[in-house]
């Protein structure tokens, strides 16, 4: 079964982190806050309790360059400062 190679992760409610995707296995990804987001910042990471926030996440700016992530997207959580903002991802391998 083919797996998606790209997609969007939507933060439904700002301040409530969402799990990136239920993809298991290590791959390399490019991650970027979508430039048309209403807010400026998104936060990615995992605080060890399956959560992320502005206090402990890696900030992504919607005008910034993509960052590279190596690992399972299932381990990554996403939050933003504005409801409905999106994180774009692209699997590289």
Which pLDDT score is estimated for 86? 98
Q: Enter the pTM of the model.
A: 0.91
Burial of 8 (0-12, 13-18, 19+ CB in 10 A): exposed
Q: Map out the domains of the chain as residue ranges.
A: 6-91
- CB-based contacts of 1, cutoff 8 Å, min separation 6: none
Look at residues 43, 46, 38 and name the one whose alpha carbon lies nearest to residue 79: 43
Which pLDDT score is estimated for 4? 82
pLDDT at 2 over 70: no
Query: What is the third-level CATH fold of 6-91?
Result: Jelly Rolls (2.60.120)
Q: pLDDT by residue (tens digit) across 58-79? A: 999 999 999 999 999 999 999 9
Task: Using alpha carbons, list the distances in angstroms from residue 90 to 4, 12, 61, 67, 70.
Answer: 9, 20, 17, 11, 12
Q: pLDDT by residue (tens digit) across 19-56? A: 998 777 889 999 999 999 999 999 999 999 999 999 99
């Amino acid at each position: 079964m083919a797996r998606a190679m790209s997609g969007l992760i939507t933060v439904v409610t700002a301040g409530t982190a969402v799990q990136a995707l239920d993809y298991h296995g290590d791959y390399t990804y490019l991650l970027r806050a979508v430039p048309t987001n209403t807010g400026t910042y998104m936060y990615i990471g995992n605080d060890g309790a399956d959560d992320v926030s502005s206090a402990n996440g890696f900030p992504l700016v919607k005008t910034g360059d993509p960052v590279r992530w190596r690992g399972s997207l299932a381990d990554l959580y996403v939050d933003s400062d504005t409801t409905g903002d999106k994180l774009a991802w692209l699997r590289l391998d």
